[in-house]
Amino acid sequence: MLPPAPNGLRGHLSRLFADSGGGTVIEYAMIAGGIAVAIVGALAIASGNLQRVYDRIAALF
């Protein structure tokens, strides 16, 4: 691992890799991303069914 440096990119990187508190934030971000993917997938499936319903209603007129 890089030795701690007070300034510059090297200092920022060493503090970033030494910090373990950001793990929770990453876990929450992964959960939120999974939920977003599930919502997009559900909407993609529902949109096809919804289009068929609108087509059937439009055919009645």
Q: With a threshold of 0.75, does the pTM exceed it? A: no
Kindly give the confidence (pLDDT) of every residue in the chain, 61 residues in length, as a single tens digit, with 9 standing for 90 and above.
555 555 677 777 677 677 666 677 788 899 999 999 999 999 888 877 788 888 888 998 8
Q: Any residues with CB less than 8 A from the CB of 5 and at least 6 apart, and which? A: 11, 14
